[in-house]
Amino acid sequence: MVIAEPGTGSGAISINLAIHLPMARIYATELYQEAAEVANYNINRHNVADRVTLLQGDLLEPIPEMADIIVANLPYISSDVIPNLQPEVQWEPREALDGGVDGLDIIRRMMHQAQHKLKQSGVIILEIDPAQVQPLEELALEIFPGANVSVEQDLARLDRMLIIDLSMSED
Q: Where are the domains of the chain?
A: 2-168
Number of neighbours of residue 146 by Cβ within 10 angstroms: 10
Closest CA to 30 of 18, 17, 20, 40: 40
3-state secondary structure of 60: coil
Beta bridge partners of 63: none
Count of CA atoms in the C-beta half-sphere (13 A) of 129? 15
In whole angstroms, what is the distance from residue 6 CA to residue 73 CA? 8
- Which secondary structure element, helix H or strand E, spans residue 137, and what is its range? helix 133-143
Q: What is the arithmetic mean of pLDDT over 59-82?
A: 87
In whole angstroms, what is the distance from residue 143 CA to residue 167 CA? 15
Burial of 4 (0-12, 13-18, 19+ CB in 10 A): buried
Beta bridge partners of 54: 28
Q: What is the arithmetic mean of pLDDT over 48-57?
A: 97
Q: What is the pLDDT of residues 92-141, one digit of tens each?
A: 666 766 666 787 888 999 999 999 999 999 999 999 989 889 999 999 99
- Quickly state the pLDDT bin for 44 (edges 50, 70, 90): very high
CATH of domain 2-168: 3.40.50.150
Q: Looking at the predicted structure, is the pLDDT value of residue 164 above 80?
A: yes
